[in-house]
Amino acid sequence: MFCRLCRQHKPAPKKGRANRAFVEVGAVIYRKDYLERHIIMELHQDSIRCQASLASGISVINSFEPTIVLEHEAVIGGFKCLYWLVKNELAHHTNYPKLLSLAELLGCDYFRKLKIDRRNDYRSHRIIDDMLEVLAEVIEEPILTKIKSSQGISLEVDETTDVSVGRQLDLHVRSIDKEGHVFNHFLDLVPIADGKADTIVAAVKNVILKKGLPRERLYGLGTDGAAVMTGNYLMLM
């Protein structure tokens, strides 16, 4: 037996095998409960909705609108979950998929829209890193705007290493507003090839240019006092 509607519209399989009963291959079980189970499946319901849209003359764009809204809500919800993990300093790569699964159990069914198929979803490490970059840009933009309008700024620079003992340069910026309040903000964490003075100076200059900081209002530099940080001359301009 085949399902005429499902074979006509043939929704893409979300998971499992591609040879589905009633669609790609004929069903060989003739029990009533087996037919009823197919009728209530999401695959068959999607086919019914597609057929109803064609019969009523609804445009293709309008027929996709509910799905687009749900996917939009799912993506926003995913960003909120990731932001909550980062804000609470929890391991995001391991806890983000678990948090989405918990949200689904609590009734947030639209998170299922994040699972496009078995290979593509919004739960992989690469996608999580991309989402973090987007979050960082949104959070950083108003901070940089505030720093650029400051009456004066100074930098704090220090060397550090990551878990693989790779060299990094940690940069913070201090700014002052019109009322004289001082603010300290994290600026960037830059990987560097070595700890030489020329390498550090080049990295600091690149960060200043990339962030668009007003160099004419850069009045101070704070370091640990090492020779590679200070030297005889300081030329960032």
pLDDT digits (tens, 9 = 90+) for 119-163: 667 778 888 888 888 888 888 888 888 888 888 889 998 888 877
> pTM for this one?
0.55
What is the signed CA dihedral for 85, 91, 97, 98, rounded to 10 degrees? Answer: -90
Q: What is the pLDDT of residues 34-72, one digit of tens each?
A: 888 888 888 888 888 877 766 665 544 454 445 445 677
128, 94 contact by CB (below 8 A): no
What would the mean pLDDT of 198-221 be, rounded to a whole number?
A: 88
Which residues make Cβ contacts (< 8 Å) with residue 131, sequence separation at least 6? 78, 79, 82, 122
Q: For position 116, what pLDDT does the model report?
A: 63
204, 155 contact by CB (below 8 A): yes
